[in-house]
Chain A
């Protein structure tokens, strides 16, 4: 089975712009979760989608949003980018408890 794929792998944006990241889960996995990894805060949960519905949300501002499509593919959007949004954004898909991560998208905000 192919693993979780994320596009793009690297992205450079400037403050105030918006960005959309994409995630394709492992075939058959209906749950997709997003995490942000920064050196200071570690891995932090953003949100989880299951069957196109947001099932759980972490403690992030409303500038962070996401959605899931009928084929389980997911996108996350960050609007009005800030310098502190620079991070590795990880997507994980899951059949139940174990989550399987993609390689991440490295976002740099200048």
Chain B
């Protein structure tokens, strides 16, 4: 039973346009959400996060939106650049059992930004 779902395995976007990556979750105990970017044979790189008490967080070209009632979050990248081409993972965390050290990951979305 997947608690964090990224339903689009891939996304192709033109350089300069907006990339929107989506993520759904099922566990209402999750209270912190993160996005990671990953290149092959490397570890995930932390991009941006959001607490469940917020509905938006921005960092440069990256914005994460959280809709708690729909259990949905999205990552917007504006403008998209060819260097953004990578696999993007959504992850969720909850303070259950006194630990935030258990991230639940989605299966990832492969973003391709074409010049």
| Stretch of B10-18, B41-49, B65-73 lying at the A interface | B41-49
Interface: A100 (CB within 8 A): yes
B49→A97 contact, CB < 8 A: yes
Residue A94, interface by CB 8 Å: yes
A58 at the interface (CB under 8 A from B): yes
7 closest A-B pairs (Cβ-Cβ)? A48-B101, A101-B43, A43-B105, A56-B99, A55-B99, A42-B107, A33-B101
| B115 at interface, CB cutoff 8 A | no
Say which residue of A42, A55, A97, A103 sits within 8 Å of B93 (CB atoms): A97
Within 8 Å of chain B (Cβ to Cβ): is A106? yes
A21: interface (CB < 8 Å): no
CA distance A106 to B40 in the complex (A): 11
Cα distance A105–B91 in the bound complex, in angstroms: 21
* Known contacts A97-B93, A98-B49; A58/B102 CB under 8 A: yes
| Residues of A within 8 A of B (CB-CB), count | 27
| Cβ–Cβ contact B100 & A97, under 8 A | yes
Chain B residues with CB under 8 Å of chain A are 32, 34, 36, 41-46, 49, 89, 91, 93, 97-108
CA distance A92 to B43 in the complex (A): 9
Query: Beta-carbon contacts of A83-109 to B below 8 Å, as 1s and 0s?
Result: 000001010101011111111101000
A11-69 CB contacts (< 8 Å) to partner B:
31, 33, 35, 42-45, 48, 50, 55-56, 58
**Known contacts A42-B106, A43-B89, A97-B32: A56-B101 contact under CB 8 Å:** yes
Pairs across A and B, CB under 8 Å, 23 listed:
A4-B43, A43-B44, A43-B89, A45-B103, A50-B99, A55-B97, A55-B98, A55-B99, A56-B99, A56-B102, A88-B41, A90-B44, A97-B32, A97-B93, A98-B46, A98-B49, A99-B46, A99-B103, A101-B36, A101-B43, A101-B44, A103-B41, A104-B42
